């Protein structure tokens, strides 16, 4: 095969220089007739890539895995993980890493093709992906990015011209995913379980160098590394909770070391506020419900901490104690971030101890009256207290009085309060019925206009513009009973 030269990519393959156990060299499967259906121009620009190339026939062949770049060592990464509490060997079963691209700002990002065929880690799977779930990942990951929530990004989706077999025949597709890396808690579980101490140390040093370079020369860098990852994850999960985002499958292989959200399988945004909300059809016990996300993140981080025990201190008892104490800190860091985010959602700049109670009372009331999570906050932002049933209750009037009094106990003007609220409360989220509508139009009718309009609205979630109004309305009736499925 004639290989493609450069094409705007500044490729490096540092991960493939690690020991052999961490990956397998793997060529993506050929597909019959690739067609470009989504391309992310703003991401292309920020990465310094060539949009003309990516739109060209050769570019589309590249995005489908049919053509490869001459400097790339393509690999499938090995990892393990706890899935719903049980340890399993996993790995990239339907994805390959094309390489790392160095952006004009000097940032290193992974370029991964997802849905690119079988690998040695595929187990029983076909290595393929269906169009619907890949577009879903594209829409939701880009929305998360617009909300300011750390996330992997979506560069492109191509259909492959293949039918893949799920419950029925579906259109096959490949998503190009960009991530600051794909190193997961599960990668460390893999190293700790199947590697020797040198390999564990090699992966850890590599990851510190890539994601936390400021601690590389510290004597206790392994403990600091653990603490840094815990902090990043606590900040991330607080952002999820504040946005009403439910990941749905927080297995340890779906938790990154960089602190980016990854793996948009059964995720969805909550509409009616209910802490027990679960969307994923496979999460029968509600393990990954909205209210459980912080607890489960801490559980995952405990699994991560265990992998680092051999490196943290030569005395293993001391190492365990240090690791445990670090994991215990998750709750405090998470809580601090959540409280500060909630204050901003309510336009509160300074801190009072009673704030937490004010927030809890609002949330409890929202739960009791079945209020929409996003719209409650956007209506409070707009001072439009007539469109939600809860607003006409005497309970709300009492709460509202306390809130208004609270806002007078800070020097900021009404204008600044409104600005803070507007920047903290999205007007538009990827509502489940809107996402479904876009996916149906695209996969059933080849109509990508519905998705493009949705993506456009989602790219400015804090604009509060009139044209966005239609995306802020709820389905009738509420679809908290909505079910999502893993995109396998
Ligand atoms: P996920 O549910 O996407 O986090 O995937 C869990 C594991 O299953 C990972 O090792 C995936 O690579 C693998 N996997 C998911 N879908 C497929 C598929 N269609 N073929 C092969 N492996 C898959
Ligand atoms: Mg996964």
pLDDT in tens, 1-32: 567 888 999 999 999 999 999 999 999 999 99
Distance 31 CA to ligand 2 centre (A): 23
- What integer pLDDT is reported at residue 477 of this predicted model? 67
| Residue of the CA atom closest to atom 8 of ligand 1 | 93
- What integer pLDDT is reported at residue 2 of this predicted model? 63
- How far CA 117 is from CA of 100, 121, 407, 423, in Å, comes to 20, 11, 56, 41
- Binding site per annotation, positions for ATP: 91, 93-94, 114, 126-127, 177, 184, 263
Q: pTM of whole model > 0.95?
A: yes
- What integer pLDDT is reported at residue 6 of this predicted model? 86
Same domain flag for 162 and 205: no
The contacts of residue 102 (CB under 8 Å, 6+ apart) are: 10, 12, 108
DSSP string, 66-80: SS-BTT---EEE--E
Q: What is the mean pLDDT of residues 204-229?
A: 98
Q: What is the mean pLDDT of residues 145-167?
A: 97
- What integer pLDDT is reported at residue 385 of this predicted model? 85
Q: Domain range spanning residue 79?
A: 3-182
From the alpha carbon of 253, which atom of ligand 1 is closest?
4
Query: pLDDT category, 54, cuts 50, 70, 90?
Result: very high
Tell me if 362 is assigned to some domain.
no
Q: What is the mean pLDDT of residues 283-311?
A: 97
**Ligand 1 proximity of 184 Cβ (cutoff 6 Å):** no
- What integer pLDDT is reported at residue 178 of this predicted model? 98
Same domain flag for 178 and 207: no
Does 219 score more than 90 pLDDT? Answer: yes
Same domain flag for 250 and 176: no
Neighbours of 330 (CB within 10 A): 24
From the alpha carbon of 115, which atom of ligand 1 is closest?
19
**Which ligand has its closest atom nearest to the C-alpha of 487?**
1
> How large is the greatest C-alpha to C-alpha distance in the chain, in angstroms?
72
Tell me if 96 is assigned to some domain.
yes
Q: Domain ends where: 151, 182, 213?
A: 182
**Ligand 1 proximity of 127 Cβ (cutoff 6 Å):** yes
The contacts of residue 473 (CB under 8 Å, 6+ apart) are: none
Distance 122 CA to ligand 1 centre (A): 7
**Which ligand has its closest atom nearest to the C-alpha of 166?**
1
- Binding site per annotation, positions for Mg(2+): 254, 263
Dihedral (Cα; 340, 266, 189, 150), 10-degree rounding:
-40
Contact criterion met (CB below 8 Å) for 352 and 406: yes
Tell me if 335 is assigned to some domain.
yes
H-run or E-run covering 170: strand 169-179
- What integer pLDDT is reported at residue 256 of this predicted model? 98
Tell me if 390 is assigned to some domain.
no
**Which ligand has its closest atom nearest to the C-alpha of 265?**
1
**Which ligand has its closest atom nearest to the C-alpha of 254?**
2
β-bridge pairing 108-114 and 169-179: antiparallel
Does 71 score more than 90 pLDDT? Answer: no
- Number of domains into which the chain is organized: 2
Distance 254 CA to ligand 2 centre (A): 5
Q: What is the mean pLDDT of residues 195-218?
A: 98
Same domain flag for 39 and 140: yes
Same domain flag for 14 and 102: yes
Same domain flag for 29 and 145: yes
Tell me how far apart the alpha carbons of residues 337 and 360 are, in angstroms, rounded to a whole number: 15
Distance 429 CA to ligand 2 centre (A): 23
**Ligand 1 proximity of 254 Cβ (cutoff 6 Å):** yes
Same domain flag for 162 and 239: no
Same domain flag for 176 and 252: no
**Ligand 1 proximity of 122 Cβ (cutoff 6 Å):** yes
Query: pLDDT category, 486, cuts 50, 70, 90?
Result: low
Query: pLDDT category, 475, cuts 50, 70, 90?
Result: confident
**Ligand 1 proximity of 280 Cβ (cutoff 6 Å):** no
Does 481 score more than 80 pLDDT? Answer: no
Residue 109: cis peptide before it, omega within 30 degrees of 0: no
**Ligand 1 proximity of 91 Cβ (cutoff 6 Å):** yes
**Ligand 1 proximity of 92 Cβ (cutoff 6 Å):** yes
Q: Domain ends where: 182, 207, 228?
A: 182
Contact criterion met (CB below 8 Å) for 254 and 247: yes
Same domain flag for 31 and 144: yes
End-to-end CA distance of the chain: 30
Dihedral (Cα; 208, 213, 218, 223), 10-degree rounding:
-40
| Residue of the CA atom closest to atom 2 of ligand 1 | 486
Contact criterion met (CB below 8 Å) for 184 and 254: yes
Contact criterion met (CB below 8 Å) for 151 and 260: yes
3-class state of residue 91 by DSSP:
coil
Tell me how far apart the alpha carbons of residues 202 and 195 are, in angstroms, rounded to a whole number: 10
Same domain flag for 296 and 266: yes
The owner of tokens 């493939």 is 16
Distance 487 CA to ligand 2 centre (A): 10
Percent of the chain beyond pLDDT 70?
98
Same domain flag for 36 and 175: yes
Q: Domain ends where: 158, 182, 206?
A: 182
Same domain flag for 255 and 137: no
Tell me if 191 is assigned to some domain.
yes
Q: Is pLDDT larger for residue 484 or for residue 185?
A: 185
Does 182 score more than 90 pLDDT? Answer: yes
Which of 28, 94, 124 to mutate for ligand 1's pocket (most ligand atoms within 8 Å of CB)? 94
Tell me if 224 is assigned to some domain.
yes
Tell me if 288 is assigned to some domain.
yes
Q: What is the pLDDT of residues 399-457, one digit of tens each?
A: 999 999 999 999 999 999 999 999 999 999 999 999 999 999 999 999 999 999 999 99
- What integer pLDDT is reported at residue 478 of this predicted model? 61
Does 476 score more than 90 pLDDT? Answer: no
**Ligand 1 proximity of 344 Cβ (cutoff 6 Å):** no
- What integer pLDDT is reported at residue 484 of this predicted model? 82
Distance 126 CA to ligand 1 centre (A): 9
- What integer pLDDT is reported at residue 38 of this predicted model? 98
Q: What is the mean pLDDT of residues 128-133?
A: 98
Neighbours of 204 (CB within 10 A): 22
Phi, psi of 310 (to 5 degrees): -60, -20
Three-class DSSP labels, 110-153: EEEEECECCCCCCCCCCCEEEHHHHHHHHHHHHHHHHCCCCECE
Active site residues: 253
- What integer pLDDT is reported at residue 487 of this predicted model? 55
Q: What value does the mean pLDDT of the chain take?
A: 96
The contacts of residue 271 (CB under 8 Å, 6+ apart) are: 372, 373, 374, 431, 432, 474, 475, 478, 479, 480
Percent of the chain beyond pLDDT 90?
94
H-run or E-run covering 268: strand 268-269
Classify residue 41 as exposed, middle or buried by CB count within 10 Å of its CB (0-12, 13-18, 19+): exposed
Contact criterion met (CB below 8 Å) for 8 and 96: no
What are the beta bridge partners of residue 255? 261
Contact criterion met (CB below 8 Å) for 256 and 279: no
- How far CA 73 is from CA of 16, 27, 112, 311, in Å, comes to 7, 9, 12, 30
From the alpha carbon of 79, which atom of ligand 1 is closest?
10
Tell me how far apart the alpha carbons of residues 311 and 305 are, in angstroms, rounded to a whole number: 10
């Amino acid at each position: 095969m004639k290989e493609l030269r450069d094409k705007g990519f500044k490729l490096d393959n540092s991960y493939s220089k690690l020991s052999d156990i961490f990956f397998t060299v793997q060529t993506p499967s050929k597909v019959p007739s690739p067609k470009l259906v989504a391309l992310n121009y703003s991401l292309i620009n920020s990465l310094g890539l060539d949009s003309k190339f990516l739109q060209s026939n050769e570019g589309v062949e590249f995005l489908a895995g049919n053509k490869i770049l001459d400097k790339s060592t393509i690999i499938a990464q090995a990892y393990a993980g706890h899935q719903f509490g049980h340890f399993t060997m996993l790995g990239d079963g339907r994805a390959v890493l094309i390489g790392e691209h160095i952006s004009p700002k000097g940032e290193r990002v992974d370029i991964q093709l997802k849905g690119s065929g079988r690998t040695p880690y595929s187990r029983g799977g076909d290595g393929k992906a269906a169009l619907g779930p890949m577009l879903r990942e594209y829409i939701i990951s880009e929305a998360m990015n617009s909300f300011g929530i750390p996330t992997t990004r979506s560069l492109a989706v191509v259909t492959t011209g293949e039918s893949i077999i799920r419950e029925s025949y579906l259109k096959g597709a490949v998503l190009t995913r960009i991530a600051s890396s794909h190193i997961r808690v599960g990668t460390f579980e893999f190293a700790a379980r199947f590697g020797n101490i040198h390999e564990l140390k090699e992966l850890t040093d590599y990851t510190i160098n890539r994601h936390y370079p400021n601690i590389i020369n510290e004597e206790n860098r392994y403990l600091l590394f653990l603490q840094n990852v815990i902090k990043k994850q606590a900040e991330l999960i607080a952002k999820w909770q504040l946005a009403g985002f439910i990941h749905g499958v927080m297995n340890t292989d779906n938790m990154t070391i960089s602190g980016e959200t990854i793996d948009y399988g059964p995720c969805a945004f909550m509409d009616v506020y209910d802490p027990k909300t679960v969307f994923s059809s496979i999460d029968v016990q509600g393990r990954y419900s909205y209210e459980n996300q912080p607890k489960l993140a801490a559980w995952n981080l405990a699994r991560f901490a265990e992998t680092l025990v051999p490196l943290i201190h030569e005395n293993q008892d001391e190492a365990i104690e240090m690791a445990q104490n670090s994991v215990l800190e998750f709750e405090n860091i998470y809580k601090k971030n959540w409280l500060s985010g909630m204050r901003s959602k309510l336009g509160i700049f300074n801190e009072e101890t009673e704030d937490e109670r004010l927030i809890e009372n609002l949330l409890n009331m929202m739960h009791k009256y079945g209020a929409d999570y996003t719209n409650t906050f956007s209506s409070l932002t707009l001072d439009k207290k007539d469109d939600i049933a809860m607003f006409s209750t005497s309970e709300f009037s009492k709460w509202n009085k306390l809130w208004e009094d609270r806002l007078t106990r800070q020097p900021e003007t009404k204008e600044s309060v409104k600005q803070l609220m507007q920047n903290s409360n999205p007007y538009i989220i990827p509502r489940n019925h809107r996402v479904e509508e876009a996916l149906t139009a695209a996969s059933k009718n080849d109509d990508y206009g519905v998705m493009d309009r949705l993506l456009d609205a989602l790219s400015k979630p804090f604009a509060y513009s009139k044209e966005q109004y239609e995306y802020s309305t709820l389905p009738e009736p509420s679809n908290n009973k909505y079910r999502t499925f893993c995109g396998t």
